[in-house]
Structure 1
């Protein structure tokens, strides 16, 4: 294989916030395999889940379009006719495979358990191999399906989801390793999404009373106790995911294809775990929107293209970046930016956006979720501005206030900064043909 036709792997969990990593200084967990991937690759410090909610994020990830252009809300379906990242890789002669959580078929949990919902082949995003499920919040009772006709299957995975799904994923890579076609393969697992539990050996490593909370968790006993209890399981799940990443890298080494395989490790969004008194997701605070984003692998081709980058990478950017890593032209229907030049030697660096666009297009109405529509931006130079409809909401200088303890949105001293950022936000709304009523300033 040549560098222009390398393999590429996506590995991502659900609700894995960007702060919860060993190399990020979180004292509560050890992630040696993720840390190694980061040390050998490129880390995007300012990567975000531009819509911190499963379905809209996944729609943007797969389609390279913003949520209002693809999947605007929870339990909404990805339009079956919409081309995806798999479409582009298929057209370039790749084998494409998807394993794990999909959550793009619009199934409503009120109609039954989503794990039992069968997604028809024409609504699996164009992946040639597909083995997954719509949604599942029971990591020890995970059902997968795939195939079609006489080859269709639906069965319960043995044991814990991340372990069993990784086993399927590695088996599939073994089949592809000796083939003539390069491959694009995706592993999407539910953990560390709640319920926060994994196998006993991992759970035994963490005790709630020993969990160190972030400084922005308020001194409310009920909030702190819940956060510590949940985080004990959450960190155990991340360490298990880290271990499974190590299994995949070992398999690539044993198969002799590690040097020809890019690995992108990321997450769809984060999890508040008590910060600012909030739980779960859908909010624009850092714990909800910041995600891991690491490009590693294929070491021989890079000539010191390692280290941290401050580009505000968003959900729409991973598909074009993946195509760029493999030397494939990015189709014009993708709205995102190709950041592959940050990893590939001698590739010209284009003009990158100065900010990333944040959205909650449709509130879910769920408990512990934001119940208003909002839009916002995070900038490369460390500012965040978020507005509700007709109302400023948040303004933070993240360089000086990383825990977002001082909201400057209503401080007259920062009126010019707020105006500048709202102008940039208005440009994003117009550029993406979005619809949102910004406040009058």
Structure 2
């Protein structure tokens, strides 16, 4: 497609996101345990945001922020909190600009309390589906071979069990949608579209189809340097990771299927592909598991903007050092389609890191981290900051918690939060002042320690 023809056609954009997929667990990001050729190709022909973080490493808050560009304390402040029905989302903005919007998969934004029963059987009414014109999903599910989806309304409402493994079946639904949109565009009756595929894997339980699981033996897993040499910790980490990596390879295969479908439907040249995750997974690092911690394995997420348009017409490739956070996903996605972010969105548009036609503009040199509610591995709320030059500072109310120089100590083995020697005391004060600026800027009420 030449430059003049592309400029007259609106771009499509799709999100592909897994759950609990840490940034380190990709071939293109250096993990020796996993083969991800399709995602690696996305990175090779697109932009890999190597500093991307999950500002609140927990499913519900992240998902609220990715759809609204509002910080968790202003939108979805914790686990099993509902996205306010009156809150506008990225889907509303795309709808207003003539796009068809569709969502497939995990939602986890209706505030369902899982103590009442299995969330996958909770029916989310149409007015609480974020403004998407087409919606096929479920609230939450932790059983990849027993996934129920629902959608529609009135006489067209449906609720049924997917016939196979979750990622495969949701991808099947997603590719049927792409085929439909491609056919309509060929007939001249189609709209540009924004579509989301949200799958549960590689979230625990760590199980996958046989063809990928058989390639991963626990004893062969290479652990990260910061997994302590404690037998029970390493044994669990290797067992979990063998399934985790298999799930990622299954997701990678489905990414390849989506790319083939885009090509076959004539959509590849005008569709941006955005690949990311909601948070990471500790897998034994520092003796911890799962998420909610401000360590690198928990907060760092893959974030890649790609598509076939990499090879012409002003598309940038390579690695970006931009401090991408969860609130930045929606405005960046709008920017990819030439739509400026609305005033109610709090995040930054980073689309200029992919498109030469978009100004990069003023960019934050740090990312705000937070856990407004005690959850998971930490029994206190915390706030933190991670900077572009590689420093991380995290505190509780009344007490500093972490200070790491990630350039020198990427595995966070030496906590300098209470070291009065050398640069550390002055750096802690400097970072704490930056954190206060973030707290004030976002309307947070957290009280940092007295320096």
TM-score after normalising by structure 1: 0.98
| Structure 1: distance between partners of 2:313 and 2:387 | 28
> 1:174 aligns to what?
179
> 1:328 aligns to what?
339
Counting only pairs closer than 5 Å after superposition, residues 273-352 of structure 1 correspond to structure 2 as 273-297=283-307, 298-303=309-314, 305-352=316-363
- Are 2:439 and 1:429 aligned? yes
What is the aligned counterpart of 1:229 among 233, 239, 258? 239
| Structure 1: distance between partners of 2:86 and 2:196 | 21
| Structure 2: distance between partners of 1:200 and 1:329 | 45
What is the aligned counterpart of 2:369 among 351, 358, 369? 358
| Structure 2: distance between partners of 1:32 and 1:374 | 37
Q: Deviations along 1:113-138, whole A, 9 cap, x unmatched? A: 10000000000000000000000000
> 2:225 aligns to what?
215
* Ranges in structure 1 where 5+ consecutive residues have no aligned partner: none
- Are 2:44 and 1:39 aligned? yes
| Structure 1: distance between partners of 2:89 and 2:63 | 11
- Are 2:252 and 1:242 aligned? yes
Contact map agreement 1:324 1:338 (CA 8 A) in 2: yes
| Structure 1: distance between partners of 2:130 and 2:387 | 32
| Structure 1: distance between partners of 2:310 and 2:291 | 35
The more displaced of 346-355 and 2-11 is 2-11
Q: Deviations along 1:14-41, whole A, 9 cap, x unmatched? A: 0000000001111101000000000000
| Structure 1: distance between partners of 2:360 and 2:81 | 36
| Structure 1: distance between partners of 2:45 and 2:205 | 32
| Structure 2: distance between partners of 1:303 and 1:328 | 17
What is the aligned counterpart of 2:409 among 401, 406, 410? 401
Counting only pairs closer than 5 Å after superposition, residues 189-200 of structure 1 correspond to structure 2 as 189-200=199-210
Q: How far apart are residue 2 of structure 1 and its match?
A: 3.9
> 1:138 aligns to what?
143
Moved over 3 A (4+): 1-4, 300-304
What is the aligned counterpart of 2:117 among 112, 124, 135? 112
Q: How far apart are residue 303 of structure 1 and its match?
A: 3.8
| Structure 1: distance between partners of 2:325 and 2:17 | 14
| Structure 2: distance between partners of 1:431 and 1:172 | 40
Q: How far apart are residue 372 of structure 1 and its match?
A: 1.1
| Structure 1: distance between partners of 2:440 and 2:6 | 40
Question: CA RMSD, aligned part only?
Answer: 1.0
Contact map agreement 1:385 1:421 (CA 8 A) in 2: yes
* Ranges in structure 2 where 5+ consecutive residues have no aligned partner: none
Q: Deviations along 1:136-165, whole A, 9 cap, x unmatched? A: 000000000000001100000011000000
- Are 2:397 and 1:373 aligned? no
Contact map agreement 1:259 1:300 (CA 8 A) in 2: no
Q: How far apart are residue 300 of structure 1 and its match?
A: 4.6
> 1:23 aligns to what?
28
> 2:270 aligns to what?
260
Q: How far apart are residue 301 of structure 1 and its match?
A: 4.5
What is the aligned counterpart of 2:84 among 68, 79, 93? 79
TM-score after normalising by structure 2: 0.96
| Structure 1: distance between partners of 2:358 and 2:330 | 18
- Are 2:57 and 1:52 aligned? yes
Q: How many residues align?
A: 438
- Are 2:391 and 1:383 aligned? yes
Contact map agreement 1:65 1:334 (CA 8 A) in 2: yes
Q: Secondary structure at the match of 1:308?
A: strand
Q: Secondary structure at the match of 1:125?
A: coil
Contact map agreement 1:302 1:343 (CA 8 A) in 2: no
Q: Deviations along 1:361-409, whole A, 9 cap, x unmatched? A: 1123x4xx22110000110111111011111000111111100001111
